[in-house]
């Protein structure tokens, strides 16, 4: 069983409503994550009963940053059968802990909810840097940063370039990499008729984290009951590539190659578009050559088995008598043929 953790990171815009809690729980049940990072909980106290309502019984470990007058708040919860988080330390706008997955290498995890206002954002980045200095090793920092890294991550030109530069400097100084987000370009909308779209939710990782988790997959899901898109991260999602057609040069030397290509280079007459016709003929030829090449390869194996068997019979005969001139010629010819067949094989 794969024990590599899966994460959900989401600004839920409040958990102080029973209907909202139920909706979040239904969503978490659907995505099947072992670790949940929620921002803007708007809760000043979170207990086991709250976790049961919002996430379900499997999340038996949690830590949180309380809200301030129903604003802000962060929740980190985990399923201890899959992962454990120890040494959690809280700050005003983030929490950090040592994450110990059952099926992969451990790392530091920081869940953030960035503040508003340039001064607070600057201090937020400074506090993160100071905390990072005490927590060396693989690091993941994720959540709602309330900042963008580049102009292309906002749908209009109303940009705070000063904060963009500070954020980029923070990322560069700590040698972080943003995980590629599949599915969407932006993560937040102001939900207006002509919406402003931004990418303020993201996952940043250190180089050593990425080296430990090369098969990660980050997806942006439906916003659901929030104006933020949940980020779903699978830390072990190997990609199985379809087997490609490869042309083998020695096919040109084998008897029957041109006949196979000539017979396969056909197309349904109902296809009139020249590009589609060319595509169809190439596909037909590739399929025919693969099948023909496989048969030839199998035939080569059979020839090698037969040749080795005959050479063995001659070897044994040499122990009893002198071979005739024709037998010696056949034995030498088979030995040369084996070399050729082996190179083709």
Q: Give the pLDDT confidence of 256-274 residue by residue, as tens digits.
A: 888 888 898 988 888 888 8
The gap between the terminal CA atoms of the chain, to the nearest Å, is: 38
Instruction: State the Cα–Cα distance between residues 155 and 183, nearest whole angstrom.
Output: 17
Give the pLDDT of residue 239.
Answer: 63
Do residue 86 and residue 214 come from a single domain? yes
User: Is residue 242 one of the residues assigned to a domain?
Assistant: no
Do residue 45 and residue 81 come from a single domain? yes
User: Is residue 75 one of the residues assigned to a domain?
Assistant: yes
| Number of domains the chain contains | 2
Give the pLDDT of residue 122.
Answer: 96
Do residue 204 and residue 254 come from a single domain? no
Do residue 28 and residue 164 come from a single domain? yes
Give the pLDDT of residue 268.
Answer: 85
- Of the residues 175, 204, 234, the one at which a domain ends: 234
CATH number of the domain encompassing residue 223:
3.60.10.10
User: Is residue 243 one of the residues assigned to a domain?
Assistant: no
Q: What's the whole-model pTM score?
A: 0.70
Residue 341 and residue 311 in contact, taking contact as beta carbons nearer than 8 Å? no
Do residue 292 and residue 330 come from a single domain? yes
Range of the domain at 299: 249-344
Instruction: State the Cα–Cα distance between residues 201 and 184, nearest whole angstrom.
Output: 12
Give the pLDDT of residue 241.
Answer: 58
Do residue 196 and residue 270 come from a single domain? no
Low-confidence ranges of the chain (pLDDT < 70): 1-2, 238-243, 296-300, 340-345
Summarised one tens digit per residue, pLDDT across range 24-61 is 999 898 888 999 999 999 999 999 999 999 999 999 99
Backbone angles phi, psi at 109, to 5 degrees: -125, 130
Give the pLDDT of residue 297.
Answer: 66
User: Is residue 43 one of the residues assigned to a domain?
Assistant: yes
User: Is residue 302 one of the residues assigned to a domain?
Assistant: yes
Give the pLDDT of residue 254.
Answer: 76
User: Is residue 244 one of the residues assigned to a domain?
Assistant: no
């Amino acid at each position: 069983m794969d024990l590599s953790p899966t994460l959900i990171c989401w600004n839920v815009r409040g958990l102080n409503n029973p209907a909202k809690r139920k909706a979040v729980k239904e969503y978490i049940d659907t995505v099947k994550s072992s670790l949940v990072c929620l921002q803007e909980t708007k809760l000043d106290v979170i207990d086991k009963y709250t976790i049961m309502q919002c996430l379900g019984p499997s999340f038996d470990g949690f830590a949180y940053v309380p809200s301030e007058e129903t604003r802000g708040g962060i929740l980190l919860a985990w399923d201890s059968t899959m992962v454990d988080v120890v040494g959690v330390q809280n700050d005003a706008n983030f929490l950090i802990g040592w994450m110990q997955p059952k099926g992969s290498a451990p790392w530091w995890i920081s869940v953030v909810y960035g503040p508003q206002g340039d001064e607070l954002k600057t201090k937020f980045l400074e506090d993160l840097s100071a905390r990072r200095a005490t927590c060396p090793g693989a690091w993941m920092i994720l959540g709602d940063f309330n900042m963008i890294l580049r102009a292309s991550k906002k749908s209009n030109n109303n940009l705070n370039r000063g904060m963009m530069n500070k954020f980029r400097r923070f990322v560069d100084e700590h040698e972080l990499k943003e995980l590629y987000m599949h599915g969407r370009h932006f993560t937040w909308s102001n939900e207006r008729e002509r919406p402003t779209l931004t990418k303020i939710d993201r996952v940043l990782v250190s180089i050593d984290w990425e080296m430990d988790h090369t098969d990660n997959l980050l997806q942006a899901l439906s916003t659901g009951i929030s104006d933020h898109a949940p980020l779903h991260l699978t830390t072990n999602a190997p990609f199985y590539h379809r087997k490609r057609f490869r042309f083998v040069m020695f096919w040109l030397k084998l008897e029957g190659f041109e006949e196979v290509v000539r017979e396969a280079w056909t197309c349904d007459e109902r296809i009139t578009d020249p590009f589609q016709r060319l595509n169809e003929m190439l596909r037909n030829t590739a399929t025919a050559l693969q099948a023909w090449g496989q048969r030839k390869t199998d035939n080569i194996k059979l020839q090698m088995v037969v040749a080795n068997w005959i050479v063995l019979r001659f070897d044994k005969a040499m122990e009893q008598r002198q071979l005739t001139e024709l037998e010696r010629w056949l034995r030498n010819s088979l030995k040369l043929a084996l070399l050729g067949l082996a190179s083709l094989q």
